[in-house]
Chain A
Amino acid sequence: MIRFILRRLLQAVPTLLAVVTVSFFLMRLAPGGPFDLERPLAPAAMENLRRVYGLDRPLVAQFGSYLAALVRGDLGPSFSFRDQSVLDLIARGLPVSATLGALALVLATALGVGLGIAAALRRGGVVDRLLGVGAALTLSLPSFVVAPLLQIAFGLTLRWLPLGGWNDGAPSHLVLPVVTLALPQVGALARLTRTSLAETLRTQPVRTMRSLGLPPARVTRHALRGALLPVVAYLGPLAASLLTGSVVVETIFGLPGIGRYFVEGALNRDYTLVMGTVLLVAGLVIALNLAADLACAWLDPRLRAAS
């Protein structure tokens, strides 16, 4: 098990290196720079700024020193937020995005898996029939449509919830963003759970248990353990997509998370901030996928033996 984890962590190194390299050169080869303001700076001032931030050195040398700093855990200073390091900004933005993502994940999983189980246990029932169209519908609801609709319904018309803002994570400010993030995933999770559980319920061991007279609730519990494997495997990429999907949600609701920092960083040509956020997201994607795989191995002894 330890060896499996170590190998996966080792495999993450080239991936992260690719992320760093591609985003670094993509940004530097593009026209424009962080100090191109509306009113151009005096050439001497520009020269000075570029020297202070090391932008006058050859590109490869800059890349080398960025990597060296990265190994030490230093993401460099932000170009657009004066006197703040990228690590400071991430330390401020990550809790926001993580709170939203985690709550949305819990909500989507609870609803999705619950509906999926209900549909699988009563094939052809109301839940099951609604799921066919309902899943396609939630999958097709873009967050940039859901968010304004929720804002107008609950913020402007009913005045139950605030339109946006963070307000130190007050629960009332969390509801609309979390629902927006979770909604598209409910249908996908429900469908996955239903298909998987329905298949498991047809297998020989489950039929045997039933014929031996085990109570239906016990049978379902046993079947669920196996049936949840694909669901757990899906949760890894899902958690990652909830983080990336937060770009729109954070923009619409005006939340200071990493998605917002990323977009602002990209618009301001804040090289280090963009690199930092992209690296963070890539690292999270890898870590969450690994966590999902480990959870699968814990659920399924056959996978444990294979790894």
Chain B
Amino acid sequence: MTITAAAPGPARRAVLRFARERTAMAALAVLILIALACLIGQGLTGHDPERAYPDLRQLPAGLTAQPDAEHLRPALERLAFRMRVRLDAVARDGDTLRLTLGSDAGVDRRSLAYLPRSALFGSPDILDERDGGRSLVVAVPIRRLHFLLGTDIQGRDLLTRCLVAGRISLAIGLAASLVALLIGVAYGATAGFIGGAVDAVMMRGVDVLYALPFVFFVILLLVFFRPSLLLMLVAIAAVEWLDMARVVRAVTLSLRERDFVRAARALGLGTPRIILRHIVPNTLGPVAVTATLLVPQVILLESFLSFLGLGVQEPQTSWGVLIAEGARSIEGAPHMLAAPAAFLIATLVALNLIGDGLADALDPRGD
């Protein structure tokens, strides 16, 4: 590299190096897409996440407009049963159905409201009335519904459910990682900066915690107290800050004797201020890498707990909850496992690749 008047600083160089990592940039794009889809995509799928279509349960993923020919007849028969009428004739003309409804007691016109209420049909037009009201000919428009990823066991649109679930999974991943990050950075920087006996005791404590079967404790906590989002957040953060503390301590140890820290001390700054103003900002590189690799771990732990039924509870949903539902009905509807699992795995892979890319970009030997 030639030295110019405005040579980019180390941070800028790291950003430039990261931008050159094609895998990591692709992963970043995928992650941003998933996050955006979860944030705003729910309104674009055309389905409410809670709206169930009882006639369209466990539809496979596909592009065909629903209800298709296969689902139309059973849906109509169920509706006719509820309307207490016979289906004397059914004729399809494009997107309109011509139904001849019959009933010995006379067709109750109010029961026609059942048709649009099923969400599969529009409002019917009465074309003809015969036999003094005992037979009715109506034209009903068929709605064209699309379920790109199919529907779940209650007939809810799986894509919409996945996007809503992703919001919770990502939010918990970020929030718990942030808490773990704050604890880890504060703990590690303090231990590393003070050093000596305090450091030995603090890091010995971390060693003890490492040896605890933490997953077991989190399960215990959630089984014995009622599972809630807050409790899970606390439990996950309590488990995941240890790596961060170790990383930050190691970096701090090397920073402690650097000239700018000595200068700050000579100027009479107190320990908390030095840690906050001079140590922590200089640990940002390794912290960013560790944090990026922490988020997928947290999301994985959340999904794991939700899968066991200990995490996110109905009516809220997360990818782990959807995967658990999918695993239960894997024989009849494998798409119910595949869809949320694909979202989860894509997110985790993207985060792991970004973390790897960051680590490479921040490695000073990379120049």
Contacts and interface: CB of A to CB of B under 8 A. Distances in A.
A248 to B, nearest CB: 7
Interface string A276-304: 01100110011001000000000000000
A139 B355 CA distance: 12
A277 B215 CA distance: 13
A49 interface: no
B238 to A, nearest CB: 11
A69 interface: no
Contacts of B225: 30-31
Interface string B310-335: 00000000001001101100110010
A263 B331 CA distance: 25
Interface string B51-68: 000000000000000000
A162 to B, nearest CB: 15
B212 A282 contact: yes
A140 B217 contact: no
Contacts of B300: 140, 142
A234 interface: no
Given A15-B211, A145-B337, A151 B330 contact: yes
A282 B307 CA distance: 24
B341 interface: yes
A255 B301 CA distance: 22
B216 A244 contact: yes
A141 B212 CA distance: 24
A49 B356 CA distance: 57
Interface stretch (A19-27, A83-91, A203-211): A19-27
B304 A22 contact: no
B349 A282 contact: no
Given A19-B212, A281-B213, A248 B345 contact: no
Given A30-B225, A156-B331, A251 B344 contact: no
A15 B304 contact: no
Contact of B213 (A132, A244, A248): A244
Contact of B348 (A31, A140, A240): A140
Given A148-B330, A156-B331, A289-B211, A139 B348 contact: yes
B216 A281 contact: yes
Contacts of B126: none
Contacts of B232: none
B175 to A, nearest CB: 20
Contacts of A22: 212, 217
Interface in A137-183: 137, 139-142, 144-145, 147-149, 151-152, 156
25 contacts: A14-B208, A15-B211, A18-B212, A19-B212, A23-B220, A26-B220, A30-B224, A136-B353, A137-B349, A139-B348, A140-B296, A140-B345, A140-B349, A140-B352, A144-B324, A148-B326, A240-B213, A247-B215, A248-B307, A266-B223, A267-B223, A269-B224, A285-B211, A285-B212, A289-B211
Interface of A: 12, 14-15, 18-19, 22-23, 26-27, 30-32, 132-133, 136-137, 139-142, 144-145, 147-149, 151-152, 156, 237, 240, 244-245, 247-248, 251-252, 262-263, 266-267, 269, 274, 277-278, 281-282, 285-286, 289
Given A144-B304, A281-B213, A285-B211, 12 more contacts: A23-B217, A26-B220, A30-B225, A136-B353, A139-B348, A140-B349, A142-B304, A142-B344, A152-B334, A251-B308, A278-B220, A282-B212
List the 3 closest A-B pairs by CB distance, nearest first: A30-B224, A140-B348, A136-B352
